[in-house]
Amino acid sequence: MDPLGIKGTYLFNPRVHGDQRGSFHEWFRDDRLREHLGHGLNLAQANCSVSARGVLRGVHFADVPPGQAKYVTCLRGAILDVVVDLRVGSPTFAQWEGVRLDEESRACLYVAEGVGHAFMALSDDTMVVYLCSEPYAPGREHGVHPLDPELGIEWPAGIEPALSAKDAQAPTLEEAHDAGLLPTYQDCLDHYTKLGHPR
């Protein structure tokens, strides 16, 4: 697993074994995750979404603690997967990083609690699956508008973004900050320590 520029995010490129029959790969290994995080992923929920080209989901995050860590991969098609540091006080606060996940590379992305997550489908009938450390809890779930100019996420040119009504009405980063919705970096660090993650 390779760390990205935002603390708590990792990219995993599995070895894909292929022959005339098809392919096989291990897309999740708890022991390898533990090597990097100091703890495993508490598997509480598994999600699957199918999206048309241009569908943009996120930027989503949950209250910390307990937050919701995610382990994401794209089984069919391709996505631009984006992580956003929403942790107030973090050295990389308000910064984002994007990686392509697709059916060829079979790459996977780990997103720690408190880090915002979003993705855009780059092809029709794109299927994304992700494992979650906590179940969905509407009262703890929040979003930041993915097209907020302050974030400045560079979504692919030439693709018209299609947002859900909920995501289209999400607050800007400044509005979410002023409303006290964003997690603090210190709360996240304390939570990571309780999980066993080295600081």
Rounded Cα gap, residues 142 and 165, in angstroms:
14
Pairing of strands 56-62, 115-121: antiparallel
Considering 10, 110, 130, 185, which one is annotated as catalytic?
A: 130
Burial label, 147 (beta-carbon count in 10 A; 0-12, 13-18, 19+): middle
Q: What are the residues facing 79 on neighbouring strands? A: 101, 121
SS3 content of the chain, % helix, strand, coil (to 5): 15, 35, 45
User: Which residues, at least 6 apart from 136, have a Cβ–Cβ distance to it below 8 Å?
Assistant: 45
Confirm whether 110 is a catalytic residue: no
Tokens of 99: 């990686």
Q: How far is CA 39 from CA 5, 18, 153, 196, in A?
A: 20, 31, 30, 6
Confirm whether 185 is a catalytic residue: no
Residues acting as catalytic residues: 60, 130
